[in-house]
């Protein structure tokens, strides 16, 4: 949320915080980040209890 200018917001619900962190740290997600790292600005925020 650093500059507050986002073209889209994606909200994903996970059963719990542990699974959300596992997904973020997964090989597949990390590989995807490497592909888009120079072409997209993004913030990844995990919020518990919504």
For 4-36, the DSSP string reads ---S-------SSHHHHHHHHHSHHHHHHHHHH
Structural domain total, the chain: 1
30: nearest Cα among 18, 44, 14, 16: 44
Report yes or no on 25 lying in a domain.
yes
Domain that holds residue 16: 11-37
Report yes or no on 21 lying in a domain.
yes
Report yes or no on 18 lying in a domain.
yes
Report yes or no on 27 lying in a domain.
yes
CA-to-CA distance for 17 and 19, rounded, in angstroms? 6
Report yes or no on 47 lying in a domain.
no
Q: What is the pLDDT of residues 37-46, one digit of tens each?
A: 888 777 888 8
Q: What is the pLDDT of residue 26?
A: 96
Report yes or no on 4 lying in a domain.
no
**In contact, 25 and 47? CB cutoff 8 Å:** no
Q: What is the pLDDT of residues 12-33, one digit of tens each?
A: 999 999 999 999 999 999 999 8
Q: What is the pLDDT of residue 1?
A: 47
Q: Which pTM value belongs to this model?
A: 0.67
Report long-range pairs for 24-29 (Cβ below 8 Å, ≥24 apart).
Answer: none
């Amino acid at each position: 949320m650093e500059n507050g200018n986002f073209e889209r917001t994606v909200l994903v619900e996970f059963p719990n915080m542990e699974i959300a962190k596992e997904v973020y740290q997964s090989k597949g997600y990390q590989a995807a980040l490497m592909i888009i790292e120079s072409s997209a600005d993004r913030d990844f925020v995990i919020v518990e209890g919504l």
